[in-house]
Every structure is written in structure tokens, then in C-alpha cells.
Structure 1
């Protein structure tokens, strides 16, 4: 048993690099999807309701609710509304930032200063994303009534959007681990 423990302890640096790769993959994939209409439409409730980000859009919440395109379907009047709203332009910019942070996280394997900055940015981005739990009504199950009323709505019952957002706590922790490891490597190189 001690041999397994020692073996795993000796792999810590490789595991942190695997974490860097995992964050890179998620960031580049999700950031890259921001170039597509369905993904841009999907982030509107989060951005429109955020006191930190809503200024990026020209229309105010909750107007967007009338112009939702279901995933896999495009309705031209909704696309037109999103173009006027600035939905697509903002999404392209956000996607570029996310991809850039992801690339920086991966580069942190070889360049600890870039890794430190990218780890801090990953933490900050995830912190903002987690704030959507408090600002976006769609993150909790709505009380839609029905023939058999259910007590399972509101806090703490996460909707699909809420379940998507809560997972960012893993990215938040990953950003801290990446930043701390990069800071440690910078400190070791200074003290040589």
C-alpha cells in the first residue's frame, strides 16, 4: 500500500499537467463554440441578468425570453433580435478570451509566468460564471404548476442551466491549483 501511495505522490507534477490539459481542452472547446449561433443564444440569459456583464447587450432582461432559439432550430426573427442585441459580437469576443486563457493554461506547462496569469484568469472567469447562480432566474427549477403540483422548484433545485453553472466550481479550484503550482515553480527558479 505504501508503494502505491509513494508512486501517486511522485506523479503530482504530471497530474497537475494533466489538469492543465483538461482545463485547456474545456476552454478551447467551449470558447470555440462561442463562434456558433446556438451557443451565443444559449448564454444570453446569463449575460443579460448579470450586473457585471449585462452592459454588453443593447436589450435588457427579460426581453430575451421572447427570442430564444431552441438548440437545433433557428428562427430568423430571433436571429435578427440577437444581432441587434449584440449577442453574436459579444459571444465572439468572449470565445476568443476563453480560448486565449485555455491556451495560456496549457503553455503554463513550459512557461510558469503564463501559467500563473492563466490560472488566476481561470479562477476569475469561474468566479463570474458561478455568480450566475444568484443572478439568472433560469438556473433554478421554475414552478410551472401542473396537474400534480410539486414542491421541487426554486433553491436548491438546479435546472439544466444551473447544473451547467455549478460545475464551474471545479474550474475555480483548478485555476487556484494551476496558479499555485506556477507560483511555486517561479519561486523555485528565483531561489536557485
Structure 2
């Protein structure tokens, strides 16, 4: 996206769509509800708080014996990260994965005040969730066959949520990115 259209996009997104005197106004009840949600920044708040809570909780759990043991079959079968356990072992390896999640969450928290930190936290989450999203295809038992039809097992569904989390992480990168761009251009 070029600089001009990027600036126009940011200005359009930052407009209050239902304010008096605005060139664009929500008219139907449905669009007024959408504008109300947008004006209060609800998508960002739910996405960021949910992501931060999940990363802190999951990261902390991975630093326990049950947490480490729970991810052994996932990590061990992934061509993208199985080397990690071979180098560090499952317990230290799990600690490092948990620490990475906690660092990403912490950077997102800092991103509320310093958006560039939020960008870094979001990018870390993008890498993590890309790797875990591929585990749907590499983890034995993630896909099962029932009466000739393929379904995701509980493990498969557990991993599939990381595809959604990958989308949220990219959304947070763009949100923090727009805030950082606005901050850089405040002069």
C-alpha cells in the first residue's frame, strides 16, 4: 500500500462515523451498532486482552511438568520445531516456549503505551501461531476418520484455534503499526 492511500485509510478508520458534521454517517440501526462498536475500539480491546491473557496463562503453564508433557507429542512431530526438544530437552524446551509467550504478551502490554513494542509482540505471536497452526497436519491423531469422513479430533480442534490466533496476532500487528505510524507523524 502506498503512503498516500495508507494515510487516507488511517484517517478514515480514525473518524467518528456517527458524529455530527462527519462526511460519513451511519444511518441504519445495523450500521449505527457497527459504528458504536468501532468508536469504542471493542475489537482491539477484546483481541488484545484475550491474546495477552492467553499467552500469559499458556506460557506459565508450559513451565510446569504437566504443561511440558502436554506439548511433547505436538512439538516432537513438527518438522518446524522438533529440533527444539532435541537441543534443549522437553522441559527446558517447554520453558523456553513458555518464556517466548510471556515475552510476546509483555510486549503487547507495553504496546498500549509504546506501539512499536506491540508490533514486536504481535510479530512474535505470528511466528508462534504459524508454527502451531501447521501442527494440525503433523500431529498424529489430530485428524480422525469416522464412518469414512475426516474430522478434527479434540487435539486437532485445540490446534486449529491457533489459526484464528494467527489472524488475531496479524490484526494486532496492524493495529499497533497504525498507532506507531500516527505517533511518528505527530510533528
Identify whether the pair has TM-score above 0.5, normalized to the shorter chain: yes
Structure 2 residue corresponding to 1:184, chosen from 173, 178, 184: 178
Which protein is richer in strand relative to its size?
Answer: 2
Aligned equivalents of 1:124, 1:56: Cα separation in 2: 15
Task: State which drifts further: 32-41 or 3-12.
Answer: 3-12
Contact 1:28 1:98 (8 Å CA) reproduced: yes
RMSD over equivalenced CA pairs, Å? 2.0
Higher relative contact order (CA 8 A, sep 6+): 1
The residue aligned with 1:15 is 43
Shift of residue 112 of structure 1? 0.3
- 1:56-71 to 2 correspondences below 5 Å: 56-58=84-86
TM-score by length of 2: 0.77
Runs (5+) with no aligned partner, structure 1: 60-84, 144-149
Runs (5+) with no aligned partner, structure 2: 1-28
State the SS of the aligned residue for 2:57. helix
Shift of residue 87 of structure 1? 1.1
The Cα offsets for residues 124-165 of structure 1, whole Å up to 9 and x where unpaired, read as 111100010111112122x6xxxxxx5256xx4111111100
Shift of residue 18 of structure 1? 3.0
Say whether residues 1:105 and 2:108 are aligned partners.
yes
Structure 2 residue corresponding to 1:50, chosen from 78, 90, 114: 78
Aligned equivalents of 1:111, 1:24: Cα separation in 2: 16
TM-score by length of 1: 0.75
- 1:83-162 to 2 correspondences below 5 Å: 86-141=89-144, 150-152=146-148, 156-162=150-156
Shift of residue 86 of structure 1? 1.5
Contact 1:108 1:115 (8 Å CA) reproduced: yes
Aligned equivalents of 1:56, 1:10: Cα separation in 2: 43
The residue aligned with 2:23 is none
Count of residue correspondences: 157
The residue aligned with 2:55 is 27
The Cα offsets for residues 51-107 of structure 1, whole Å up to 9 and x where unpaired, read as 121112349xxxxxxxxxxxxxxxxxxxxxxxxx81111111111111111111222
The Cα offsets for residues 21-75 of structure 1, whole Å up to 9 and x where unpaired, read as 110100000110011111111111111111121112349xxxxxxxxxxxxxxxx
